[in-house]
Homo-oligomer: A and B are copies of this chain.
Amino acid sequence: MDEPRKPVVSIVMGSDSDLPKLEGCIKTLKEFGVELEARVISAHRSPDLAHEFASTAEQRGVGVIIAAAGGAAHLAGVIASLTTLPVIGVPISSSAMQGVDALLSTVMMPPGVPVAAVGIDASVNAAVLAVQILARSDANLRSALKAYKTKLAAGVQQKSRKIQKRLES
């Protein structure tokens, strides 16, 4: 990328140790050709950063925010409280509780301030959901999503044939 383009999806994570679980998200967004940025922002350890990020994301041109955090995962909720952009929450299984704490902290939001939760560690789905949201006003993404779905089904059929062959042999 010789000159930076404005990110349309902003990925924030509560800790840099969450990055490996977000690689699938980043890779998927890039495959769809969506401009993205990725940052570490802790709702608890860097609250002012979180506040500034959430308050200014929309005017920076961001369309969808993906927030990943573990434990008492407040990151998605804190951001959702300060923006009207759709916020996708990815609960991370970083604690002894294997992500159940993060899932509940992410999804059980009070009326008026939604977070769109995906499954525990399900960062690829966060990316696909972001693309689905952006696709509403982008015909290219709509086509790309349809191709993606076709490829998913084809992948399943290919694996099925392999197993069927193996059993017959």
Chain A residues in contact with chain B, CB under 8 A? 1, 4, 13-16, 19, 24, 26, 36-49, 51, 63, 71-72, 74, 77-78, 80-82, 84-86, 88, 93, 95-101, 103-122, 124-126, 128-129, 132-137, 142, 145-146, 148-149, 152-153, 155-157, 159-160, 162-164, 167-168
Contacts and interface: CB of A to CB of B under 8 A. Distances in A.
Given A72-B105, A84-B145, A116-B129, 20 more contacts: A19-B163, A40-B156, A40-B159, A44-B112, A45-B155, A49-B157, A71-B110, A72-B74, A72-B110, A86-B133, A86-B136, A100-B104, A101-B108, A104-B104, A109-B122, A112-B128, A114-B126, A116-B117, A116-B118, A136-B136
Contacts of A137: 136-137
- The quantity of this chain's copies bound in the complex is 8
A80 B128 CA distance: 11
Contact of A97 (B19, B44, B45, B99): B99
Contact of A96 (B40, B98, B163): B98
A113 B93 contact: no
A164 B84 CA distance: 24
Contact of A125 (B93, B113, B133, B136): B113
15 contacts: A36-B167, A38-B167, A39-B160, A39-B164, A41-B156, A44-B80, A45-B152, A72-B119, A85-B132, A93-B96, A96-B99, A105-B105, A112-B128, A114-B118, A114-B122
